[in-house]
């Protein structure tokens, strides 16, 4: 992927994550199921929609680095940081 497209993809992902955090904080996420390699949420807006995120398995060092980077981001408590 060329630099321009890569930068745009990163920016798009960041905007989606920011929007998702906003929905979570405002109480618009009415159901959240976190499982192995998958997160499913029901989000209430003008209508209720289901959002599914599939997650690739990471090697242990990459997983630990990711956990450190995102610890506390959603403000849901210490359980996320374990």
Of residues 48, 41, 43, the one with CA closest to residue 23: 43
State the pTM of this model.
0.54
21 pLDDT higher than 60? yes
Q: What is the mean pLDDT of the chain?
A: 79
User: What one-character DSSP code corresponds to residue 48?
Assistant: E
pLDDT at 7 (0 to 100): 61
Residue 35: count other Cβ atoms within 10 Å of its Cβ: 8
């Amino acid at each position: 992927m060329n630099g321009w497209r890569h930068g745009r993809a990163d920016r798009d992902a960041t905007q989606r994550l920011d929007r998702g955090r906003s929905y979570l904080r405002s109480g618009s996420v009415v159901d959240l199921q976190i499982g192995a390699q998958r997160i499913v949420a029901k989000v209430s807006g003008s209508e209720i929609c289901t959002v599914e995120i599939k997650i690739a398995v990471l090697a242990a060092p990459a997983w630990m680095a990711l956990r450190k980077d995102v610890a506390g981001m959603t403000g849901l408590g210490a359980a996320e940081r374990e």
